[in-house]
Structure formats: structure tokens, C-alpha cells
């Protein structure tokens, strides 16, 4: 009973908010009277957003390269890996 009451209250509030907000979204958006400053702002904003794609692509492909390298390296057997051998170096006094 409690869950049904809460569900109906949420539904009623959502419906009322939708009815109150619908006149705001009913008008048309017209850019006839917009000046050149708006278009310059939009163009500069688009350029900035597109420039952010360059480092994003670099990071994305480096993560893909790292993940594939780790994935293929795990498939190697222990015998295939070459261990580093340390040789003692004589010290003259």
C-alpha cells in the first residue's frame, strides 16, 4: 500500500511538472534576429570542442594499444621470455 501511494504521488508530480513546463517549450526558436556575435561565439565554441578531440583520440588509441599489448603478452609461455642475466663486475682497488 505504501509503495503504491508513493508511486502515485511521483506520477502525479511528474504529470503536473510536465503540464506546467509545456508552455515554455511550445514557442519556436528563431535565429533571424541574432547578430554576428552569436555566430562568432558558436563557431569559436565548435572549434574548441573539435580541438578537444585530438588529445581524446591520442589517449583512446594509447589505451587500446596498451590493452592489446598486455593481452597478447599474457599468452606467451614462460620459456619464451628471456631472463636478464647479471654478471659480476670485478672492482680494482
> Does residue 61 lie within any of the structural domains?
yes
> Does residue 27 lie within any of the structural domains?
no
> Does residue 8 lie within any of the structural domains?
no
> Does residue 15 lie within any of the structural domains?
no
Structural domain total, the chain = 1
Supply the range of the domain harboring residue 51. 36-73
Round to whole Å and give the CA distance between 38 and 31. 9
Q: What is the pLDDT of residues 2-55, one digit of tens each?
A: 888 899 999 999 988 888 877 767 777 777 878 888 889 999 999 999 999 999
> Does residue 48 lie within any of the structural domains?
yes
pTM of the model: 0.41
Amino acid at each position: 500500500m505504501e509503495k503504491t501511494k508513493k508511486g502515485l504521488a511521483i506520477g502525479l508530480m511528474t504529470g503536473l511538472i510536465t503540464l506546467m513546463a509545456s508552455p515554455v517549450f511550445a514557442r519556436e526558436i528563431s535565429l533571424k534576429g541574432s547578430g554576428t556575435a552569436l555566430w562568432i561565439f558558436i563557431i569559436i565554441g565548435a572549434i574548441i570542442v573539435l580541438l578537444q578531440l585530438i588529445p581524446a583520440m591520442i589517449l583512446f588509441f594509447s589505451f587500446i594499444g596498451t590493452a592489446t599489448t598486455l593481452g597478447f603478452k599474457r599468452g606467451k609461455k614462460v620459456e619464451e621470455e628471456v631472463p636478464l642475466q647479471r654478471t659480476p663486475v670485478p672492482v680494482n682497488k
